[in-house]
Amino acid sequence: MIKKAKMILNKDYKISDIDPRIYGSFIEHLGRAVYGGIYEPTHPKADEHGFRTDVIELVKELNVPIIRYPGGNFVSGYNWEDGVGPKENRPRRTELAWGTIETNEMGTNEFADWAKKVNTDVMMAVNLGTRGADAARNLVEYCNHNSGTYWSDLRRKHGYAEPHNIKTWCLGNEMDGPWQICHKTAEEYGRLAAETAKVMKWVDPSIEVVACGSSNSAMPTFAEWEATVLDHTYEYVDYISLHQYYGNAENNTANFIAKTEDFDRFIKSVIATCDYVKAKKRSKKTINLSIDEWNVWFHSNEADKKIEKWSIAPHQLEDVYNFEDSLLVGGMLITMLQHSDRVKMACLAQLVNVIAPIMTTNGGGTWRQTIFYPFMHVSNYGRGCVINPIISSPTYDSKDFTDVPVLQSAAVFNEEKEQLTIFALNKAINDNLEFECDIRSFEGYKVLEHIVLTHNDVKAVNTESNPFNVKPNSNGNAKIVDGIIHANLDKISWNVIRLSKKIN
């Protein structure tokens, strides 16, 4: 059976310009994200700094503009001073968040070096668990002050004459979570975050800071946490974070890919809470959102229970992603684009090995997981302005959701390049979708390509021995007739329809 869906796009109906930082990612000192992931000095493809060049090339394919570091739960027990200076003098520490040993071979300066190699900026997180404002302002001084002070001169002594100029900073991590080292109440965290933000900005007024929001939408303290934290921090912070992971433990594909509905509600609720505090304070300032952890995460839960405590860089949180996971990741990206007026930053968590689009073997190869592809598509082709679509779509009901649109779509217009890209997800399990899209306001545009990611097995995965089992093709059949795009969208498929006014 073929279902039908229609969409209308008008270039004058804009949601917002996209902040490229919405396509960020995350590297935490966790599992093999750092050691064996981005850094492996003994690897045949390691460069002079010990960075894996094969990983660097795959990260470049993703075109990631900002990467959050060094955590995550890790940061709430981290002494940043342990990771600077001569490596032979750096201490090994028990890492309480994940029950491992941290060698501190990688630290602030090395990560800044690596970030330059992959053409990205750093989103630095500070420890508001075991530490506070003093350590945070010292780190800003170490990273961003030019010279002539203790911490800036120490950086220069460590071989970095020029400041790193890190402009985006996270005020701790998931401080609402009882699992967090030195978990705090909203009152405790709000006061600490406000005072920390003040002194960090006194050191460098040009930085932007992110306050911790809820760790997920099911937290018992949501959204009272946001309201209380923002009540303390509103005039000192620029963003509030939200984290969200989804799983499919019940093995219900239709319900799983419908979880974008929950994601959408979560984002709207946080926006509403921010605006409530804005009204309460009679403020002219608008707080925007940083979704600095988001992904699918559940596959590795049982394996992680068997990890030997106090090991170094174990195989931890190494979810093997299947085809249906890529669909939800694509749907979450579309959801964020639909809220691009308020969602200004986001970090796919994480980047390498740990719940990641990129996997490696120690001493061996690399490969792209299924979720690599929708992220790559949106990051590379979703630059410009989001157009507000008018969508007419059939719907379905699932275990947890009702009236779920079969078609989920977002469109991005790059006026400078004269390109229009439509990202379209067909959530129908058994039915192809006959898709029509009115683009008559985009006169003269033609189809460049119609990329399709689909597979006959929703559980299909990519492995080192079979790295392209799930991969996109350009065999889509989108065409334009009298200003209307006509395309057949395969059942449960991810589609990218690229159009341009300039075709060589």
Domain for residue 352, yes or no? yes
Average pLDDT estimate for 429-441: 96
For the entire predicted model, the pTM comes to: 0.97
Residue 80 carries which DSSP code?
A: G
303 and 426 both lie in a single domain: no
403 and 369 both lie in a single domain: no
- Position 120 scores a pLDDT of 98
- Alpha-carbon separation of residue 369 from 325, 450, 470 (angstroms): 10, 21, 8
Per-residue pLDDT band for 2 (boundaries 50, 70, 90) equals confident
- Position 335 scores a pLDDT of 98
Q: Quick one: which of 491, 489, 503 has its CA closest to 7?
A: 489
Domain for residue 275, yes or no? no
Report CA 466 to chain centroid distance, whole Å.
26
316 and 409 both lie in a single domain: no
The domain that holds 240 is classified in CATH as 3.20.20.80
List active site positions: 174, 293
- Position 469 scores a pLDDT of 98
Average pLDDT estimate for 13-40: 98
Give the domain extent around 415. Answer: 2-11+386-500
354 and 412 both lie in a single domain: no
The domain that holds 396 is classified in CATH as 2.60.40.1180
Q: Is 362 exposed, middle or buried (0-12, 13-18, 19+ CB in 10 A)?
A: middle
Contacts of 158 (CB under 8 A, 6+ apart): 84, 85, 109
Q: Quick one: which of 43, 54, 124, 120 has its CA closest to 83?
A: 124
- Position 174 scores a pLDDT of 98
Burial 122-136 (b: 16+ CB within 10 A, else e): bbbbbbbbebbbebb
d(CA 232, CA 186): 9
Domain for residue 401, yes or no? yes
pLDDT digits (tens, 9 = 90+) for 159-183: 999 999 999 999 999 999 999 999 9
Domain for residue 269, yes or no? no
SS3 category, 232 = helix
pLDDT at 210 over 90: yes
d(CA 128, CA 185): 12
Report the domain count for the chain. Answer: 2
Domain for residue 328, yes or no? no
Domain for residue 266, yes or no? no
Asked if the bond preceding 72 is cis, omega within 30° of 0, the reply is yes
Average pLDDT estimate for 345-351: 97
Burial 472-500 (b: 16+ CB within 10 A, else e): beeebebebeeeebebbbbbbbbbbbbbb
Q: Is 279 exposed, middle or buried (0-12, 13-18, 19+ CB in 10 A)?
A: exposed
164 and 138 both lie in a single domain: yes
- Position 502 scores a pLDDT of 73
Average pLDDT estimate for 248-269: 98
318 and 392 both lie in a single domain: no
Hunting for tokens 């970090």 — which residue is that? 347
CA angle at 182 for the pair 178 and 185, rounded to the nearest 5°: 65
The rounded percent of the chain whose pLDDT value lies above 70 is 99
pLDDT at 372 over 70: yes
Contacts of 55 (CB under 8 A, 6+ apart): 37, 38, 352, 358, 360, 366
Domain for residue 350, yes or no? yes
pLDDT at 503 over 80: no
Contacts of 215 (CB under 8 A, 6+ apart): 174, 176, 177, 243
Hunting for tokens 């249906």 — which residue is that? 324
- The rounded mean pLDDT for the chain is 97
The rounded percent of the chain whose pLDDT value lies above 90 is 99
Domain for residue 151, yes or no? yes
CB 120 within 8 A of CB 27: no
- Position 1 scores a pLDDT of 67
Question: What secondary structure does DSSP assign to 254-303, as a single string?
Answer: HHHHTTHHHHHHHHHHHHHHHHHHHHHTT-S---EEEEEEEEE--TTHHH
438 and 360 both lie in a single domain: no
346 and 423 both lie in a single domain: no
361 and 433 both lie in a single domain: no
Plot region of 353 (φ>0 → left; ψ -120 to 50 → alpha; else → beta)? left
- Position 504 scores a pLDDT of 61
pLDDT digits (tens, 9 = 90+) for 455-482: 999 999 999 999 999 999 999 999 999 9
